Amino acid sequence: MSKFKKKKSGDLPAISTASLPDIVFMLLFFFMVATVMRQNTLMIENRLPTADQIEKLDKKDLVMYIYAGKPSSRYQASAGSTARIQLNDKFADVSDIKAFILAERASKREELVPFLTTALKVDGATNMGLVGDIKKELRDVQALKINYTTRTGSAMDNLQ
């Protein structure tokens, strides 16, 4: 009789957590592979507009990023509340764009320079005056391939 009694101990057996590390590692590897480290810390608000006629930029190393928008609340005391340009972690003026483009070009291999694209990541609430100034500077340095970075979605959402 005692043989059977032994098995019937009342409380539930503890769930084995031995495979928990494996599960966590699996997640960890996923995020390690999927992570793209942010090159620039954003100092501006950057709510991109939406569009649906978009192309993907696939060669990440051949893209130069120009950010523009209102300084985020942390920086408004020092940078003001009108829209500013951000290049490489710093606020910049329109006149700095030329130097920025030339520096980016110098850091790339010569045969890749014609394929460089400028991605404009501009906040939706920015005035076109600033964007126009940026475009004019880009034209002056012959950086003619540009891409207005947008989120995917209907363009009609922009008007609300």
Partner 1 sequence: MARRAAPEVNAGSMADIAFLLLIFFLVTTTIETDSGISRKLPPPQDEEVPPPILKEKNIFVVELNKNNDLLVEETPMELKDLREAAIKFLDNGGGAGEDACNYCQGSKDPSSSDNPTKAVISLRNNRETNYETYIAVQNELVAAYTTLRNREAQRLFGKTFVQMEKELKDVNYTGNKESLKEDIKKIQFLFPEKLSEAEPKK
Binding site for partner 1 (CB under 8 A): 17-18, 20-21, 24-25, 27-28, 31-32, 34-38, 48-49, 51-58, 60, 63, 117, 119-120, 122-129, 131-132, 135, 138-140, 142-152, 155-156, 158-159
Count of CB atoms situated within 10 Å of the CB of 64: 22
SS3 assignment, position 63: strand
Return the sign of the alpha-carbon dihedral for residues 45, 47, 53, 55.
Answer: positive
CB of 2 to partner 1, least distance (A): 32
CB of 35 to partner 1, least distance (A): 5
SS3 assignment, position 94: coil
CB of 20 to partner 1, least distance (A): 5
CB of 134 to partner 1, least distance (A): 10
**How far is the C-alpha of 31 from the C-alpha of 91, rounded, in Å?**
31
Strand 50-51 to strand 151-152: parallel, antiparallel, or no bridges (unpaired)?
A: parallel
Structure tokens at 27: 């997640």
